[in-house]
């Protein structure tokens, strides 16, 4: 496995000049939809932009042309491409709107909290540590900064109608070659998960699709070409016989009047929300929900009201407990930074984790019986779970108080009979108690 990754402009295709033309054509192929997604995700003129893995500098040039008040820092680790990008962007460099830096995405020689918007295009699939690459992007973005990661997933790369069976063999060969060099050409599907692990929030994913019926054949032919298959044949990953069949089938496909060429890119975006920001959101959510709790439960907000303080203390303790269990599931070191009113599924709690949370809370609270298996679905946020558990605890406390008021020698079965609950199960009794509490809440 290569420490630098699976891309080298000098041997990736047949010639470095041909490879640069191919790289530029790949931007043209998707540009209209791609730039629209940048805009939708928050890119505006005047931002300080990082183009990480800028290649020959074509993307930086496009951004500088369309955003006249913005500045771009173009980062590239290949010295030949740094030279090409510097020449292409020389005018903008002279205007002090652009700088080109020779650097690796895995260890950026850039200060923290510098950029408003960072884009890395067809880069992460080639690096040996995509998570580290995205963590570096997180580091250099300002608070509330936006990241855009665009990459391939070769399960759905270029496809055609009529279909070309040999394309599957070509893509298998390509994926093996890149994997041996430290890359992952199927990383597109993993991008949202990688961004989440890197610390980003407000994550979104779109699939950008280019179709020959709309664009014509030319942009596809320019962005693909024979260079990569030839290189794979020369390195032994793809057989010469398969390559010949592929060329024949490709030409036959193009002769078909109803032929189609389609290609997809995976575009993932996220926002840098600092721990302080998350805590503030959580605090604001708690205050908002406390006011709702006042309306829904009838608990007075009078600071001199001791019962209010007691109830708030109970809720706060339950919230802290649930946060600690959620933090453990999500492998987070700061439970206090987890928002209380955001759905747990949006925080990353999946179905398996939901079961683990239900079981661990049941054990920790020593409730006597487990919380419902649908806990996270019925009560999606930490705050709603805390309120649900508080009602259970109150019902148990109420039952204990009723028991304590009975005479020591009195037959409790008589009292059960007189109260009409002799034939009810524990679950039914608990439901009645919860209904009674709800009724009390409404009356208040």
Q: What tens-digit pLDDT sequence spans the chain (444 residues)?
A: 344 565 555 555 556 787 888 889 999 999 999 999 999 999 999 999 999 999 999 999 999 999 999 999 999 999 999 999 999 999 999 999 999 999 999 999 999 999 999 999 999 999 999 999 999 999 999 999 999 999 999 988 899 999 999 999 999 999 999 999 899 999 999 999 999 999 999 999 999 999 999 999 999 988 886 678 888 898 999 999 999 999 999 999 999 999 999 999 999 999 998 643 433 333 444 444 444 444 443 334 454 455 555 667 778 888 989 999 998 888 887 888 888 888 888 888 887 888 888 888 888 887 767 888 788 878 889 999 999 888 888 877 666 666 555 555 444 444 444 445 455 566 666 666 666 556 555 554
Angle between helices 351-365 and 382-405 (to 10 degrees): 30
The helix (run of H) or strand (run of E) holding residue 144 is strand 141-151
In DSSP notation, 155-223 reads GGSSEEES--THHHHHHHHHHHHHHHTT--TTGGGGHHHHHHHHT-EEEEEEEEEEEHHHH-SHHHHHH
Instruction: Give me the DSSP letters along 265-282.
Output: EEEEEEE---HHHHHHHH
The three-state secondary structure class of 134 is helix
Domains in the chain, please, with CATH?
A: 16-271 (3.40.50.150), 275-443 (1.10.1200.10)
User: Which class for 323: exposed (0-12), middle (13-18), buried (19 or more C-beta within 10 A)?
Assistant: buried
Q: How far is the C-alpha of 424 from the C-alpha of 207, rounded, in Å?
A: 56
d(CA 339, CA 202): 13
């Amino acid at each position: 496995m290569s420490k630098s990754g699976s891309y080298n402009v000098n041997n990736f295709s047949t010639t470095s000049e041909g490879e640069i033309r191919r790289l530029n054509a790949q931007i043209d192929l998707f540009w209209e939809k791609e730039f629209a997604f940048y805009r939708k995700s928050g890119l505006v003129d005047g931002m300080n932009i990082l183009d990480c893995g800028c290649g020959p500098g074509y993307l930086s040039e496009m951004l500088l042309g369309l955003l006249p008040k913005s500045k771009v820092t173009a980062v590239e680790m290949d010295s030949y491409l740094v030279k090409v990008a510097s020449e292409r962007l020389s005018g903008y460099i002279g205007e002090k709107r652009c700088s080109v830096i020779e650097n690796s995405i895995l260890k950026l020689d850039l200060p923290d909290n510098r950029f408003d918007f960072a884009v890395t295009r067809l880069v992460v699939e080639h690096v040996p540590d995509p998570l580290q690459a995205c963590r570096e992007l997180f580091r250099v973005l300002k608070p509330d900064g936006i990241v855009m990661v665009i990459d391939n997933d070769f399960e759905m790369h270029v496809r055609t109608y009529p279909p070309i069976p040999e394309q599957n063999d070509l893509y298998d060969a390509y994926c093996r070659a890149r994997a041996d060099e430290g890359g992952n050409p199927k990383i597109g599907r993993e991008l949202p998960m990688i961004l989440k692990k890197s610390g980003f929030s407000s994550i979104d994913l779109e699939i950008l699709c280019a179709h020959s019926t709309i664009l014509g054949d030319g942009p596809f032919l320019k962005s693909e070409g024979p260079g990569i298959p030839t290189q794979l044949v020369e390195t032994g990953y793809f057989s010469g016989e398969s390559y010949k069949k592929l060329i024949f089938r490709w030409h036959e496909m193009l002769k078909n009047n109803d032929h189609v060429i389609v290609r997809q890119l995976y575009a993932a975006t996220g926002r840098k929300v600092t721990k302080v920001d998350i805590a503030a959101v959580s605090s604001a959510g708690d205050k908002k929900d406390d006011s709702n709790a006042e309306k829904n439960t009838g608990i007075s907000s009078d600071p001199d009201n001791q019962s209010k303080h007691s109830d708030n203390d109970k809720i706060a303790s339950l919230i802290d407990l649930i946060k600690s269990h959620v933090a453990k599931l999500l492998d987070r070191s700061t439970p206090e930074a987890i928002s209380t009113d955001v759905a747990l599924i949006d925080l990353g709690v999946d179905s398996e984790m939901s079961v683990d949370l239900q079981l661990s809370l049941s054990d920790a609270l020593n409730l006597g019986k487990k919380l419902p298996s649908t806990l996270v679905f019925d009560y999606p946020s930490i705050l709603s779970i805390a309120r649900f558990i508080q009602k259970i605890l109150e019902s148990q406390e109420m039952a204990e108080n009723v028991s304590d008021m009975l005479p020591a020698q009195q037959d409790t079965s008589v009292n059960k009979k007189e109260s009409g609950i002799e034939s009810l199960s524990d679950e039914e009794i608990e439901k009645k108690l919860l209904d009674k509490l709800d009724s009390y809440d409404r009356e208040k």
